[in-house]
């Protein structure tokens, strides 16, 4: 059974005809199942689907990696296209995710969470199925979340905060989730932003799921918020999983992408909007 993963939304595009937009979304087709992982910020989803000659009718699920706008902005439109759809997400998806600008201390924090309320989405047919721990939601498809986090293995993105009392505290982004998809070539790990930390996610996949080899990792890695001294151990860990393909998107960062390309050579690629990966 072939599994096809099509990158629908990303910061960059793979060829003309697509729109690049800060965010991520991919369409996964596996046998008779078709499901969407994230929805991008909203503008590029319908445009790029049309360019791909794809549609969302018959979609069985929408998975959301976390509640930031650049992953949920297209959720209302996607829900409307499906005439009702089950949405798999962590229960903290509607947290008050905020961002501060360290370079402008007087500037107020800005909301960057989901642009829609749960009630609004349900009004248009979204049926939320919340999961705060890893589980198989479809045959061969695992929603990976709720893992233990070693702070030394997590990205240090201090801009991200949530309100507490009269001020703000660091946002743990506890709603962070990934997908593990079984394919005929081996398991593929699809990341939204990997706010939990790529190393923590890989530890979880190995220790809790018993998976020691991955055919591919695709998506946003948040490696731009790891220090240069941390990148080598991330790449060493990727090697331990004998990964055949690393396709990065969205929040990986240019310097991290260059380092990955230098280390992995033809096993590295950019998972830009319009790219189709078959397994």
Per-residue pLDDT reduced to its tens digit, 98-119: 999 877 777 899 999 999 999 9
- The pLDDT assigned to 127 comes to 98
More confident residue, 74 or 166: 74
Average pLDDT for the chain: 96
Structure token pair of residue 101? 């600008």
The H or E element spanning position 6 is: strand 3-9
For residue 257, pLDDT beyond 90: yes
Of the listed ranges 6-10, 52-56, 67-71, 154-158, the least confidently predicted one is 154-158
- pLDDT of 113 reads 98
Q: How far apart are CA 173 and CA 66, in angstroms?
A: 8
- DSSP helix/strand/coil, 247: strand
Per-residue pLDDT, averaged over 37-63, amounts to 97
How big is the CA angle at 235 (ends 268 and 137), to the nearest 5 degrees? 75
Of the pLDDT bands very low, low, confident and very high (cuts 50, 70, 90), residue 275 is very high
pLDDT at 1 over 90: no
Q: Would you state the pLDDT for residue 83?
A: 86
Report which of residues 244 and 1 the model is more confident about. 244
Task: Look at 106-110, 179-183, 193-197, 248-252 and tell me which has the smallest mean pLDDT.
Answer: 106-110
Task: Give the pTM.
Answer: 0.96
DSSP code for 152: G
What is the third-level CATH fold of 3-278? Metallo-beta-lactamase; Chain A (3.60.15)
The predicted structure's pLDDT at residue 128 = 98
DSSP 114-133: -SS-HHHHHHTTEEEEE-SS
Strand ranges in the chain using DSSP code E only, listed in sequence order: 3-9, 25-30, 33-37, 61-63, 85-89, 98-99, 110-111, 126-130, 135-138, 141-145, 160-164, 167-170, 177-181, 188-191, 216-220, 245-249, 268-270, 276-278
- Residue 176, pLDDT > 80, answer yes
The residues spanned by each domain of the chain are 3-278
Q: CA 115 to CA 211: how far, in whole Å?
A: 35
- Residue owning tokens 């070539």: 185
How many CB atoms are closer than 10 A to CB 61? 20
């Amino acid at each position: 059974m072939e599994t096809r993963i099509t990158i629908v939304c990303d910061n960059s595009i793979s060829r003309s005809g697509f729109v690049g937009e800060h965010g991520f979304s991919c369409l996964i087709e596996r046998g008779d199942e078709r499901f969407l992982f994230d929805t991008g910020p909203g503008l590029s989803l319908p445009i790029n689907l049309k360019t791909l000659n794809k549609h969302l009718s018959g979609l069985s699920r929408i998975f959301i990696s976390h509640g930031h706008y650049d992953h949920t902005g297209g959720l209302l439109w996607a829900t409307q296209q499906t005439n009702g759809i089950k949405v798999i997400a962590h229960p903290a998806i509607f947290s008050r995710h905020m961002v501060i600008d360290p370079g402008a201390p007087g500037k107020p924090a800005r909301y960057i969470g989901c642009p829609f309320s749960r009630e609004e989405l349900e009004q248009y047919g979204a049926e939320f199925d919340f999961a705060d721990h890893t589980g198989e939601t479809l045959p061969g498809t695992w929603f990976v979340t709720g893992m233990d986090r070693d702070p030394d293995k997590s990205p240090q993105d201090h801009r991200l905060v949530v309100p507490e009392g009269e001020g703000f505290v660091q946002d743990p982004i506890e709603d962070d989730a990934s997908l593990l998809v079984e394919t005929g070539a081996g398991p593929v790990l699809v990341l939204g932003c990997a706010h939990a930390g790529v190393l923590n996610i890989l530890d979880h996949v190995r220790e809790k799921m018993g998976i020691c080899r991955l055919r591919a990792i695709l998506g946003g890695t948040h490696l731009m918020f790891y220090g240069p001294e941390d990148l080598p151990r991330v790449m060493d860990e990727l090697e331990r999983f004998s990964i055949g393909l690393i396709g990065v998107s969205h929040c990986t960062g240019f310097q991290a992408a260059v380092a990955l390309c230098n280390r992995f050579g033809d096993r590295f690629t950019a998972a830009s909007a319009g790219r189709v990966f078959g397994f």
